[in-house]
Amino acid sequence: MYLLKLATAVAALASGTDAAVRQLPRPASCSGVASFRYQYKLESGWSAMKIAGGLKQVRTIVWDTEGNMLVSQNTRGISVHTFGDNGCINSTTMLVSGNQINHGLSITPDGKTLYASSETTLWSWAYDPLTRKISNQKTIVKGMSTGIHSSRTVAVVPQQPNLVLLQVGSNSNFDMASQQPGTGRAIIKIFDASKAPSSGFNYNTEGEVYGYGLRNEIGFTADPNGVFWGVENSGDDFARTENGQRRDIHIDNPAEKLNNLGDPLTVRNAWYGYPTCFSVWNPANFPNSNLKTGSHFVVSPNSSYNDATCNGRAVPPRLTFQAHSAPIANTFDADAKNMYVTFHGSWNRQPATGFKVVQIPFTKLANGTYEPVAPADSMTGYKDIFSAPNPGSCTANGLTMSNCFRLTAAVWDPAGRGLFVGSDNSAEGEIYVLTPNA
């Protein structure tokens, strides 16, 4: 169980809390919890169990300082779950009820302030982890744009918890207006919640720009240095027009991204390329070029704006993923030796891809920074640890309906049971526990 003990040592960082909680066994099964709704495949050295079912579109999981699990359920609200000595859930209550809550959920390291989002608004509450009660609801940010990407990810900055990061995606495949940060789209902004006016900040006109040119940076998490790493969903249905020739590249391009977003205490106005610069996954789609996996490209290069323009201006991804994987959440294990990313799965690629949890090996460099082990041009920088048995056969009717699970939340359990992973398949919201074996 050495790997599991290491993993739980930083679970508090991943979940946003800094207190130690009682350790619990990982049960083989829990009474009243049905078996996995969908078949799965596990990497050797891991085990899996289903700890909760019958939920509605699980999107985000966080832990309070008492080891209680808080779950954002899309259009239902926020539930809080306590655990018995056997490691199973022994009580569930709705902390916040309402169909506006749809994704974002974060808690301060002291466990006393809770944040949650709708498509347009970020709220905070005073939270008591002993009584599992909230009070003093406040509007922190309002006026976020509506569009095709409705999820709003929020994260407390652990080294300065009055600061929150808040993300809005693009409103179309090519949201050209989002080149201007003032649109408040394809962007992550920083707000000082302690200075929020009584009616809340206006998202588009207030706050500071952390990074923009991020088509849909729906997951981001901090490493032990407080540097945030984000996973980005890129575009669909791409073709490349070059020298008058149009080539369909959409099966394997553009890549999804892993971005080093930097330290939110120092980084401002970083541009990551969208809506004009995209990343290569499969270089075979770009003959007669020097592009590699991870390079930036444009869909219609010309003499004034081309691939070289992008690679000279936009912050490059640190690693890339198979196109259409749809990464949703990411989290580190102990000492940031690995990052884990949930792939929601594709809806418009044949054969389908995604529907899995992947592990990305990381290393701590001599200068104290953390980096993926694989080089930026690698196509093998991550491996599957939990997936649909045959992701290529998974079908997706819309964003949540599928004949496979649709993986979302990912967070290590501070009580030592393993990696908690959510699924928001509309047929049943589920939570699984993935545990590395001794």
Query: Residues 150-194: pLDDT tens digits?
Result: 999 999 999 999 999 999 999 999 999 999 999 999 999 999 999
pLDDT tens digit string along 30-80?
Answer: 999 999 999 999 999 999 999 999 999 999 999 999 999 999 999 999 999
pLDDT score, position 395:
86
Question: What's the mean pLDDT in 327-341?
Answer: 96
pLDDT 10s digits, 78-134: 999 999 999 999 999 999 998 899 999 999 999 999 999 999 999 999 999 999 999
Q: Residue 348: pLDDT band by 50, 70, 90 thresholds?
A: confident
**Predicted confidence band of residue 1 (pLDDT cuts 50, 70, 90):** very low
220 pLDDT more than 90: yes
pLDDT value, residue 5 = 42
How far, CA to CA in Å, does 243 sit from each of 299, 300, 303, 344, 411? Answer: 12, 9, 11, 36, 47
The predicted structure's pLDDT at residue 17: 54
Confidence of residue 399 (pLDDT cuts 50, 70, 90): low
pLDDT of residue 288: 87
What is the average per-residue pLDDT within 269-276?
98
- The pLDDT value recorded for residue 15 is 53
| pLDDT > 70: percent of the chain | 95
